[in-house]
Amino acid sequence: MHEVTLIPGDGIGPSIAESTRAVIEASGAKIEWEVHQAGMAGIDQFKDPLPKETLDSIARNKVALKGPLTTPVGMGFRSVNVALRKEFDLYINLRPAKSMEGVKSVFRDVDLVVFRENTEEFYSGIEHYIDSKRSAAETIGVVTRAGSDRIVRAAFDYAREHGRRKVTIVHKANIMKYTSGLFLDVGREVAKEFLDIQCDDRIIDNMAMQLVTHPQQFDIIVTTNLFGDILSDLCSGLVGGLGLAPGANIGYDAAIFEAVHGSAPDIAGKDLANPSAMILAGAMMLDHLHESRAAKLVRDSISAVLKEGKKLTRDLSPERSVGTKEFTQNVLATMELMSRN
Ligand SMILES: NC(=O)c1ccc[n+]([C@@H]2O[C@H](COP(=O)([O-])OP(=O)(O)OC[C@H]3O[C@@H](n4cnc5c(N)ncnc54)[C@H](O)[C@@H]3O)[C@@H](O)[C@H]2O)c1
């Protein structure tokens, strides 16, 4: 039995978390869920966006599955997602982007994994107005040798473990000669220890252009926090959009699995959300828990439903679509059939 902290989140979170929970439970893995709140739901219940109960539960279980959490733009509380990553030192943000049969997208043969540094640089929260008139503002991006080393090393280790051929280091060292320059230097040093894996590098602007014109040339991408945030959304767009993109935040002592997308307030409460990204994040969690058979069943069922293409959510099939609940029922029925065969 695995004890897992489940944070449903807000916006579309509770609805896709319910779907994910049902699918994971049907996968055969034995999970005992501890449901806890964060973000808006944390404020509603405990007047705290990151209640102590939630933190204690993650610290105890070391594994969490999380729905999206809204972060107010500008003023208001700081991102709970960023706070969780810092609290548990979840330095790896791992986001696979793989073309799936049946999903309409510009490319059919993309198979990328983005490794985003998750704790440093412009997301460190070191920012302020320089005076009371707010005449200027500063955000300080700190990049450390140790922080760069561990994320690049994680990307190369993953490449070796998963039989991948190449790691591309993405940077802006031509302009940000110190922060991005340090990241690139460390990346090249680490690459010398992995001579069986090819290594190259790209400047971020060129990378964005090459990704949307010829993404097949890339395999594993490793980059700093802000570039990684943007590139991983871009990569999810290459394979059919945010509704299909899972992610993992991994540290030495804990891991939090979630969809790449946010709380989608525009469609919240309307039974329109695609739960696949969170379900696929659940499959990544099952792999992490060494429940690889259950993980495979979940992935195969989602693939089969997408390939069949008859009952898809609106983001994937705008003309003829089903709601979150019906989509989930279809995934569950497919799992049932697959596990019998
Ligand atoms: N990890 C997280 O919890 C996380 C990640 C990103 C954004 N956010 C937060 O989410 C809030 C909304 O952010 P946003 O609107 O920029 O991005 P978003 O990802 O919530 O939505 C972007 C667009 O994609 C659509 N979309 C997203 N997920 C979908 C799904 N599963 N099915 C169908 N359509 C989907 C939305 O309807 C919207 O049109 C913000 O407060 C932001 O800070 C949270």
pLDDT for residue 319: 84
Same domain, 72 and 112: no
Distance 40 CA to ligand 1 centre (A): 15
Looking at the structure of the chain, the number of domains it has is: 2
Domain of 140, in residue numbers? 106-238
Same domain, 94 and 64: yes
Ligand 1 in reach of 179 Cβ (< 6 A): no
Of 57, 62, 86, residue with least CA distance to 288? 62
Does the structure show a pLDDT above 70 at 218?
Answer: yes
User: Cα–Cα distance between 18 and 158 in angstroms, integer?
Assistant: 31
> Which stretch of DSSP H or E encloses residue 17?
helix 13-26
How much is the mean pLDDT over the chain?
A: 94
Same domain, 37 and 150: no
The predicted model scores a pTM of 0.93
Same domain, 205 and 251: no
Within 162-313, where are the H helices?
A: 179-191, 204-213, 225-238, 276-288, 292-308
- What's the pLDDT tens digit per position in 112-158? 999 999 999 998 888 999 999 999 999 999 999 999 999 999 999 99
Same domain, 248 and 216: no
Distance 261 CA to ligand 1 centre (A): 4
Ligand 1 in reach of 69 Cβ (< 6 A): yes
Same domain, 62 and 127: no
Buried b (16+ CB within 10 A) or exposed e, 112-134: bbbbbbbbbbbbbeeeeeeeeee
- For ligand 1, atom 21, the nearest C-alpha belongs to 264
Does the structure show a pLDDT above 90 at 42?
Answer: no
Distance 114 CA to ligand 1 centre (A): 19
- Percent of the chain's residues with pLDDT above 90: 82
Distance 12 CA to ligand 1 centre (A): 9
Q: Which residues are part of the catalytic machinery?
A: 123, 172, 205, 229
- For ligand 1, atom 3, the nearest C-alpha belongs to 68
pLDDT for residue 154: 98
pLDDT for residue 78: 72
- What's the pLDDT tens digit per position in 43-77? 888 888 899 999 999 999 999 999 999 887 666 66
Same domain, 270 and 329: yes
Which residues have C-beta within 8 Å of that of residue 188, sequence separation ≥ 6? 169, 199, 201
Residue of 242, 276, 312 to mutate, ligand 1, most atoms within 8 A of C-beta: 242
Q: CATH number, domain at 272? A: 3.40.718.10
Residue of 263, 322, 327, 328 to mutate, ligand 1, most atoms within 8 A of C-beta: 263
- What's the pLDDT tens digit per position in 292-333? 999 999 999 999 999 998 899 999 988 889 999 999 999 999
pLDDT for residue 73: 67
Distance 70 CA to ligand 1 centre (A): 8
- What's the pLDDT tens digit per position in 186-208? 999 999 999 999 999 999 999 99
- For ligand 1, atom 5, the nearest C-alpha belongs to 262
Same domain, 84 and 62: yes
Span 238-258, average pLDDT = 93
Q: Of the residues 192, 222, 238, which one is the last residue of a structural domain?
A: 238
pLDDT for residue 74: 64
> Do 160 and 128 meet the contact criterion of CB atoms below 8 Å apart?
no
Distance 264 CA to ligand 1 centre (A): 4
Q: Of the residues 213, 238, 263, which one is the last residue of a structural domain?
A: 238
Same domain, 254 and 233: no
Of 120, 115, 48, 54, residue with least CA distance to 82? 120
Q: Which atom belonging to ligand 1 lies closest to the Cα atom of 267?
A: 37
Same domain, 61 and 9: yes
The residue that leads in pLDDT, 142 or 41, is 142
- What's the pLDDT tens digit per position in 8-19? 999 999 999 999
pLDDT for residue 151: 98
pLDDT for residue 318: 86
Q: Which atom belonging to ligand 1 lies closest to the Cα atom of 273?
A: 32
Residue of 15, 93, 261 to mutate, ligand 1, most atoms within 8 A of C-beta: 261
Which residues have C-beta within 8 Å of that of residue 106, sequence separation ≥ 6? 238
